[in-house]
C-alpha cells in the first residue's frame, strides 16, 4: 500500500462543497474519478477540511491509498489531464508515511476572506469576493477582531447545524488589512467550527461599516448565542489558503 498526499487548488463555484454528496458535483468526487481514470483504482480521498458550497482552496490537502507505487510527478500531470475541464488542479503529489492523516494530522488551517468595498459590482472577480458596496474601516475591524484571538467558546459564531462536540476553539491569528478596494481578513487556527470564519467576517463587517460599536464583538462572544452575532458572510470570498503539518505546510510544498 502506498499512502499519498495531494495538494489541491480549486474554484468552489461549480461545486456543492468538498465532500461527496448526492445533490451535486463535489471536489472529492471529481478527484476520485480522476484517480480511477489514471490507475483503475477507486480509493476514498480524505480531505483536511470540508469546504462548503462555493468556497475555494489555494492549497487543500487530501490523502489516499493506492495498491502500487507511482511516480508523483507523473500522477500529478495525469490527474490534471483527467480533471479537465473542472476548475480543480493537483499542485503536488507527496508520498507519505502510512500513518499520515490529512485531517487529524493537521496542526493548523489558514483561511483568507476578501471583501470588495466599492459601489460598482465585481466582474473579473465575481464569485471570488463578497461585494460590499459601502466602505469598511479595516483598522477598526482588525482591532475589534483581536478580542477573538485566543481560546474561547465560539457558540455565537458557529452554525446552528454545526456538529462539533465542543464550541471551544483556539483562534491563533486574525488580521484585517485593506488592499485598494479590497478588505482582506486572514485567520489561522488548528481547526474551525462550521461557518465560524464566515460568521466572524459578517460580524466584523457590521463594526467596519459603523453599524455596531467597537466593543460589540466582545459582547457577542460573551453572549454565546448565535442570534446575537452578525449575518453569515457569503461563501464567495472565502479561500482555504493552507494546511500545516509538523515540518511542512501545503503552500510551501506545491
Catalytic residues: 52
The distance from CA 102 to its chain's CA centroid, rounded to whole angstroms, is: 14
Cβ burial of 91 (10 Å; 0-12, 13-18, 19+) is middle
Residue 215 cell numbers, joined? 466593543
Cβ burial of 227 (10 Å; 0-12, 13-18, 19+) is exposed
CB-based contacts of 29-33 (< 8 A; 24+ apart in sequence): 30/83, 30/86, 30/88, 31/6, 31/62, 31/79, 31/83, 31/88, 31/90, 33/82
SS3 assignment, position 246 = coil
Amino acid at each position: 500500500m502506498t499512502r499519498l498526499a495531494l495538494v489541491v487548488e480549486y474554484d468552489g463555484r461549480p461545486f456543492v462543497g468538498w465532500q461527496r454528496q448526492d445533490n451535486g458535483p463535489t471536489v472529492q468526487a471529481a478527484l476520485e474519478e480522476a484517480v480511477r481514470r489514471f490507475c483503475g483504482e477507486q480509493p476514498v480521498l480524505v480531505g483536511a477540511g470540508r469546504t462548503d458550497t462555493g468556497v475555494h482552496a489555494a492549497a487543500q490537502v487530501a490523502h489516499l491509498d493506492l495498491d502500487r507505487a507511482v511516480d508523483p510527478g507523473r500522477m500529478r500531470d495525469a490527474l490534471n489531464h483527467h480533471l479537465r475541464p473542472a476548475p480543480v488542479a493537483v499542485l503536488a503529489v507527496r508520498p507519505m508515511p502510512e500513518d499520515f492523516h490529512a485531517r487529524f494530522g493537521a496542526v493548523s488551517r489558514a483561511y483568507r476572506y476578501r471583501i470588495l468595498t466599492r459601489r460598482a459590482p465585481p466582474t473579473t472577480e465575481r464569485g471570488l469576493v463578497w461585494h460590499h458596496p459601502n466602505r469598511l474601516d479595516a483598522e477598526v475591524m482588525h482591532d475589534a477582531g483581536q478580542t477573538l484571538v485566543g481560546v474561547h467558546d465560539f457558540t455565537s459564531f458557529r452554525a446552528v447545524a454545526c456538529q462539533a462536540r465542543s464550541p471551544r476553539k483556539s483562534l491563533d491569528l486574525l488580521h484585517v488589512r485593506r488592499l485598494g478596494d479590497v478588505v482582506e481578513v486572514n485567520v489561522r487556527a488548528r481547526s474551525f467550527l462550521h461557518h465560524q470564519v464566515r460568521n466572524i467576517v459578517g460580524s466584523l463587517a457590521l463594526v467596519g461599516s459603523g453599524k455596531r460599536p467597537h466593543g460589540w464583538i466582545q459582547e457577542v462572544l460573551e453572549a454565546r448565542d448565535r442570534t446575537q452575532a452578525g449575518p453569515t458572510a457569503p461563501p464567495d470570498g472565502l479561500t482555504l489558503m493552507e494546511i500545516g503539518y509538523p515540518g511542512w505546510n501545503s503552500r510551501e510544498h506545491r
